[in-house]
Amino acid sequence: MSLLDVQHLTVRFHTRNGVLTAVDDVSFTVDPGETLAIVGESGSGKSVTCYSLLRLIPEPPGRIESGTALFDGVDLLQSPVSALRHIRGNDIAVIFQDPMSCLNPFLTIGEQLMEPLIFHRQLTRPAARNQALALLAEVGIKDPTRRFESYSHEFSGGMRQRVMIAMALIAEPKLLIADEPTTALDVTVQAQILRLIKELQQRRNIAVILISHDLAVVAGVADRIAVMHQGKVVETGATNTIFTGAQHPYTRKLLASIRSGAKQHAVASAPTPRPLLEVKNLTTCFRDYGTPLLATEAERFITAVDNVSLTVNHGEILGLVGESGSGKSSLGRSILQMIPVRSGSVTFAGQQLCGLNAKAIRPLRRRMQMIFQDPYASLNPRMTVFDAIAEPLLFHRLATRSSVEKLVHTLMDEVGLARAYVRKYPHEFSGGQRQRIDIGRAIATRPEFVLADEPVSALDVTIQAQILDLLLDLVARHNLTMLFISHDLSVVRYIADRVMVMHRGKIIESEKTETLWAHPQQPYTQQLLAAIPGADRPQHRPPAGDY
C-alpha cells in the first residue's frame, strides 16, 4: 500500500479578479521509502499541491474543491485541523527553499533544535542536547558541539539547509516534503545536499516528495517524476522512462531546456583579438567591521578581488564562474567602478577608469551597462516600463521627449515585450518579463560592453533558455561584448566563448569554453564540473520536433 495516495485533488483560488484553478484534478502516489519528484515551472501548481495536503495554503482565497489524500489510511483533506496539526509535526515534515527565513535569528541553532525535543518529546535538557547533537552530526555538520551555540546568520546557505533538514528529522517523519531545497545554493553545495537527502532517506526509509523547477536537479535523486504544467500532472513515470521516452510535449520541452551542449554559434575567434576591456592587477577589499579593536591593518579588510588581470576582446562573451563568496560579483562591480577599488587598473576602450570621479565616469557609463540578477529588485517599483527604459535615453540625450516613445517601442520589440505593456508597472510582470525589461534598459543606450551578473539565476529553467537566447541574439546583432557572471556552469557553457574560473578572489583557470570542459586543469574546476546536476542522469536523445 502506498504511504500517500492523492486522488483528483483540485484547488482553486477565489480572488477578486476571478477564480484561478491552481491544482486541476491531480493524482499521484508515494510509496514508503520512495522519492517522488514533482517538476514544473513556477506557477504550475507544484507547491500548492503539497501545501494543500497539509492545509498550509491560505483559506480563503484558496479552497480545496475536491479530491482525497490518504496518508497512512487517513484522509488529510477531511481531517480536523487538530489532527492535521499532529500529522504535520510528527509524520510529515517540510523543508523550504529559503532556510534563512525559517530560522529564528535570535536563538542559537542548538536552542532551536532542542525546543521541539523538550516540548513535544518531553526529553530532559541534557537528553535533548545529546539528541540534537546527534542530529547535527547526522546531517553532516562538522564539529556540532561548537556549532551548537551559533546563530543562523553564522552559517552558510548550505549549512543552514542542513540544519533545516535536521529539524525536519526531529519528529522522525515518514514523509519529507522538500520544496526547492537547493535552488538558492551553489552547485557543489547543491550536490552535497541532494546526496544528504538521498542518504537519509535510505538510512531511515523516509518517503520524499522533492519539488523542483529543474529536471536536471532531480535526475540523480528521484525514483519517479511527476511533471506538472498549468495545474495538471501531464506525465508521471520512472525517472529513467521520463528521461529516455518522455511522451508529453511539455516534458520534452523541459528536457530540451537542460543545457547539455556547447555554445551553438561560437564566435570564430578573430585572427587578431582586439581588447575592449583590460584589467590589470585589480584588488578590491571590504572593511570587516567584525574585527577586534587592535587588529592589524591587514586584518581589518577582507580581500574580495585579489590581484586579478583579464582581457575581454571585442565581440566576445567571457564567462566568469565561481561559487558565492568567490568574489565574482565584486570583480564585476569593481570593473564598472561601482565599488571602490584598492589598487590596479581598468582600461575601457583605451580609457583608464580607475581614479575617475563620479562625474567624469558618467558619460562612460552609457557605453558599459549592467544586467542584474534579481529582476524583482532591479526595477524601481514606481516607474512604468516606459519610464524605466526612457530614463537613460533622455538623460544621456540620446532621444528627445518626442522621439523617445518610438525608441522605447523598438527596444521593447527587440527584447520581446509586447508594446501594449509599455504603461505597466514592474510588479505586473513575471520574472522572465521583468528580466526582459532589465535587458531593454541596459541596451537602450547602445553600450559596447555589458556586464551580466547572474542574469538567469532567479528564473525557471525554461525561461532561462529564452533569456539566454535573447542575450545571444542581442550580442550578435549589436556586436556587444559581454562579461557573463554565473554560478551555473551549464549556463556559462551555453553562452560563453571563453571561461574564467574564480575561487577565493583569484582567477584560477582561464580557457576556451570547450577546452575547459574537455580538459579542466585545476582540481577545483574538476570538482565544479563534477557537481553539475544531472551529470549522472540517464542519457536521453533530444526528441525530434521544434520545442
Is the CB of 265 or the CB of 401 nearer to other proteins? 401
Query: Do residues 448 and 276 touch, judged by C-beta distance below 8 A?
Result: yes
Task: Spell out the residues 6+ positions from residue 476 whose beta carbon is closer than 8 angstroms to its own.
Answer: 265
Q: In 10 A of CB 108, how many CB atoms?
A: 16
Selection from 484, 389, 368 nearest residue 434 by Cα: 389
C-alpha cell at 107: 536563538
Cell 496518508 identifies what position? 71
Question: Side-chain half-sphere of 237: how many Cα atoms within 13 Å?
Answer: 14
Peptide bond before residue 126 is cis, with ω within 30 degrees of 0: no
Q: Does position 379 bind other proteins by CB under 8 A? A: yes
Query: Do residues 216 and 256 touch, judged by C-beta distance below 8 A?
Result: no
Q: Does position 294 bind other proteins by CB under 8 A? A: no
Is the CB of 213 or the CB of 441 nearer to other proteins? 441
Task: Spell out the residues 6+ positions from residue 503 whose beta carbon is closer than 8 angstroms to its own.
Answer: 322, 323, 326, 524
* DSSP state string for 529-542: HHTSTTTTSPP-PP
Is the CB of 237 or the CB of 455 nearer to other proteins? 455
Is the CB of 160 or the CB of 366 nearer to other proteins? 366
Q: Does position 409 bind other proteins by CB under 8 A? A: no
Q: Does position 481 bind other proteins by CB under 8 A? A: no
Q: Does position 55 bind other proteins by CB under 8 A? A: no
The span from the CA of 475 to the CA of 140, in Å, is: 44
Query: Do residues 10 and 66 touch, judged by C-beta distance below 8 A?
Result: yes
Q: Does position 324 bind other proteins by CB under 8 A? A: no
Nearest distance, CB of residue 362 and other proteins, angstroms: 5
Q: Which stretch binds other proteins (CB under 8 A): 101-109, 112-120, 365-373, 493-501?
A: 365-373
- Pair type for strands 506-512 and 207-212: unpaired
Task: Spell out the residues 6+ positions from residue 54 whose beta carbon is closer than 8 angstroms to its own.
Answer: 76, 84, 87, 88, 92, 94, 177
The span from the CA of 34 to the CA of 46, in Å, is: 18
Site for other proteins in 386-405 (CB under 8 A): 386, 391-392, 395-396, 405
Q: Which stretch binds other proteins (CB under 8 A): 131-139, 260-268, 295-303, 358-366?
A: 358-366
Identified binder of other proteins from the candidate list 54, 74, 171, 364, rule CB under 8 A: 364
Nearest distance, CB of residue 453 and other proteins, angstroms: 10
Q: Which residues make beta-bridge pairs with 21?
A: 12
Selection from 232, 233, 234, 236 nearest residue 222 by Cα: 236
Identified binder of other proteins from the candidate list 203, 265, 287, 382, rule CB under 8 A: 382
Identified binder of other proteins from the candidate list 126, 271, 381, 545, rule CB under 8 A: 381
| Site string (223-242) toward other proteins, x via CB under 8 A | --------------------
Query: Do residues 36 and 209 touch, judged by C-beta distance below 8 A?
Result: yes
| Site string (25-54) toward other proteins, x via CB under 8 A | ------------------------------
Q: Does position 293 bind other proteins by CB under 8 A? A: no
Q: Does position 369 bind other proteins by CB under 8 A? A: yes
Q: In 10 A of CB 55, how many CB atoms?
A: 16
Is the CB of 252 or the CB of 441 nearer to other proteins? 441
Residues that bind other proteins (rule: CB under 8 A) add up to a total of 36
Q: Does position 292 bind other proteins by CB under 8 A? A: no
| Site string (431-470) toward other proteins, x via CB under 8 A | -------x--x---x-------------------------
Q: Does position 365 bind other proteins by CB under 8 A? A: yes
Selection from 226, 188, 190, 196 nearest residue 210 by Cα: 226
C-alpha cell at 484: 557573463
Query: Do residues 138 and 200 touch, judged by C-beta distance below 8 A?
Result: yes
Identified binder of other proteins from the candidate list 374, 469, 511, 514, rule CB under 8 A: 374
Is the CB of 190 or the CB of 378 nearer to other proteins? 378
Query: Do residues 118 and 127 touch, judged by C-beta distance below 8 A?
Result: no
Is the CB of 78 or the CB of 380 nearer to other proteins? 380
Q: Does position 370 bind other proteins by CB under 8 A? A: yes
Instruction: Catalog residues that contact other proteins under the rule CB under 8 A.
Output: 16, 336, 338, 358, 361-366, 369-370, 372-374, 377-384, 386, 391-392, 395-396, 405, 420, 423, 425, 427, 438, 441, 445
